[in-house]
Structure 1
Amino acid sequence: MTDRLSYPEAGATAGDTLPGGYHHLRVTTRVGHGPADFRAAADAVLTWRMHRAMTGVRIPAGTPAAAPGVTVTPALGFGPLSVSGTCEVVWTAREERRAGFGYGTLPGHPERGEEAFVVRIDEAGDVTLTVLAFSRPARWFTRAAGPVVPLVQRAYARECGRALRRVVRRPTGLSAPPGGA
């Protein structure tokens, strides 16, 4: 983790308490059941496959798997309506019942804050994805968008769950995903 982040609370999404002064997001989606689904979901999250399976999301080719210090510039949207911002992975986890990562915004990103993608398997075998974030506008256009930004973020988090559910259903499918690069 570096001091390049655009906010001071680095790593806060690794826990359950998010810092004040930000918009908070927490969306949990059931994506599968059993250890095989958990492993497939964990791999898809940590290797950006979940993101690449989403329509309108582009992760640059050659982006290394999520690990602290890895930078990534996801792009959302299409053509002139595309928005991107560089993030740095600040933490990762690959545990028996939990796997995922959190990345934080770097200067120039449209938002300021952190977002995490965490897969869990519970005692009953249910596998879930939780998208957890804290953010506030950092650029004129996200400030101007006002209350629309949290709605877009919530829709994005829900789409992450749907995309991961599709990936888990066909974990060995290696065809080009819709948003892949």
Structure 2
Amino acid sequence: MLSIGRPSPVRLQAALEHAEGQDLTYPEVGATAGDLPSGYAHVRREVPLGRGEEAFARAAEQLLGWRMHSRAGLLVRAGTPAAQPGTTVVLAVPLGPLWRLAPCRVVRTVHEPDRRGFAYGTLPGHPERGEEAFVVERAASGAVVFRLTVFSALQTLDARVLPPLSRAVQRHYTRRYLTAMRDLARGPGRRSGPGSASGRRGRTVR
């Protein structure tokens, strides 16, 4: 779904309510937890976030509260303040004068002593189909790392018309996610992109 100009809170809320009644657009739900399925482009990236309990707890809290996405420059409209199974979220991605609305649903969360995060899958209207997982991990040594895992295929007509551009946009925001998580783990005082709009219902992250 494309929007000319920055989408308003009302527009984002309408998109969220519509997406909440939709089904996922791919069958391999939860596959980011193991071997990635064939027939998709695969991405695995990671970035170190520091060491110790403070870095781990801060990064996990910010990730689950949608701050990575807003720090990366997206508008975020979510059905819950923190990611949980079944939460629907609409991301608005700036593309010059246009904004791409990308609806997703959280398909699993990770709540372990040394691993926190979630995965979401695509809904109708998303330019891709597939799943993306975001996990903060702490090793026995105390080192903290953020891992991003994706399997995806281009879905909408406009995305499939210019596949190199679509993949370039995906790579761009993957890099921004990694940068955002690194900054968030260090604490306040850094911003990698604009915040997000406010609204009545749902949860819009600033």
TM-score range, shorter chain: 0.7 to 0.9
Which runs of no fewer than 5 residues in structure 1 stay unpaired? none
Structure 2 residue 192 is matched with structure 1 residue 180: no
Counterpart of 1:8 (choices 8, 19, 27) is 27
Shift of 1:3: 8.2
Counterpart of 1:121 (choices 132, 135, 138) is 138
Aligned to 2:129: 112
Aligned to 1:35: 53
Structure 2 residue 155 is matched with structure 1 residue 144: no
Query: Any conservation in 1 of the 2:106–2:121 contact (CA below 8 Å)?
Result: yes
Amino acid at match of 1:12: A
Which runs of no fewer than 5 residues in structure 2 stay unpaired? 1-20, 198-206
Shift of 1:145: 1.8
Shift of 1:129: 1.0
Query: Any conservation in 1 of the 2:108–2:119 contact (CA below 8 Å)?
Result: yes
Could you list the per-position Cα deviations for residues 72-97 of structure 1 after superposition, in whole angstroms to 9, with x for gaps in the alignment? 00111157321111100000011111
Q: Name the TM-score, length of structure 2 as normaliser.
A: 0.78
CA distance, structure 1, for counterparts of residue 49 and residue 166 of structure 2? 25
Query: Any conservation in 2 of the 1:31–1:162 contact (CA below 8 Å)?
Result: no
In 2 relative to 1, CA 68–61 (structure 1 residues): closer, same or farther, beyond 3 Å?
closer
Aligned to 1:153: 170
Structure 2 residue 87 is matched with structure 1 residue 70: yes
Could you list the per-position Cα deviations for residues 37-71 of structure 1 after superposition, in whole angstroms to 9, with x for gaps in the alignment? 0011111111101112123x110276431111100
In 2 relative to 1, CA 154–126 (structure 1 residues): closer, same or farther, beyond 3 Å?
farther
Amino acid at match of 1:103: Y
Counterpart of 1:82 (choices 89, 99, 105) is 99
Query: Any conservation in 2 of the 1:59–1:73 contact (CA below 8 Å)?
Result: yes
Structure 2 residue 184 is matched with structure 1 residue 167: yes
Give the share of equivalent positions with the same residue, in percent.
Answer: 47
Shift of 1:159: 1.1
What does residue range 89-104 of structure 1 map to in structure 2 within 5 Å? 89-104=106-121
Q: Name the TM-score, length of structure 1 as normaliser.
A: 0.88
Amino acid at match of 1:5: L
- Runs of 4 or more consecutive aligned structure 1 residues displaced over 3 Å after TM superposition: none
Shift of 1:180: 2.9
